[in-house]
Amino acid sequence: MTTRTAAGTTREPLTRRRVLDAALAYIDQHGLAALSMHKLGAELGVKGMSLYNHVANKDDVLDGVVETLWDEVERAAPAQADWRTGARTLARAIRDVMHHHPQAASLITVRQLMPVAALRTVQTHLATMTGSGIPEDRAYALLRTIWTYALGTAQAEICWDTCRDSTRRPAVGDLLRPQTPAELAAVAEIFCGRHDPDAQFELGLDLMLRGIGRAPAE
């Protein structure tokens, strides 16, 4: 359904989903700090006050953006027949969504919100794990580990601009304090300079998943 404006053009009516999608797109383009209700209304072709029919305030918008991000993760990480495959898919989905929306990614950890889509994702993968014989309390612990690993890794990569765009990667020398001993500069060259973020992420997953399903030591 569309509405006709005074100028004779048509405009899709506002919904909460349209407002949140526009907010995320605005943050992607202009950055989180630039977002305001006035600017968001302008993006949608309405006055800022019109938004309050669909969202309570700016905090509600930001929480809604978090919900939108987790909706993307949920769609990208359905449960798999093999729980390890599912866990790997989930970790990759979290990391990929954060990298796809680097300007908004910090909201996932800052807003202290666990949206329904995130909880459904946990529930879905938990069912696969417990169905494979993993005790429920251990399955929860494993999911927390995978969850925080993916979130933390992606956030660190975004902060350093080292994951997707190698042209933005800082030179190792820029990371060092003046008078850093040569032998430590050599360590930095390998530790920071010879780094493939994708391979490093997969190595971390491999190390976790290799032992994650083993029974805890007696």
Using DSSP's 3-state secondary structure scheme, residue 4 falls into: strand
Per-residue pLDDT of 46-100, as tens digits, reads 998 999 999 999 999 999 999 999 999 999 999 999 999 999 999 999 999 999 9
In the chain, what are the helix, strand and coil shares in percent, each to the nearest 5? 70, 0, 30
- CATH for 56-212, options being 3.40.50.800, 3.40.190.10, 1.10.357.10, 1.10.760.10: 1.10.357.10
The domain segmentation of the chain, as residue ranges, is: 56-212
**Residue 82 backbone dihedrals phi, psi, to 5 degrees:** -95, 125
Per the DSSP assignment, residues forming a β-bridge with 4 are: 10
Residue 218 has pLDDT above 50, yes or no: no
Q: What is the mean pLDDT of the chain?
A: 89
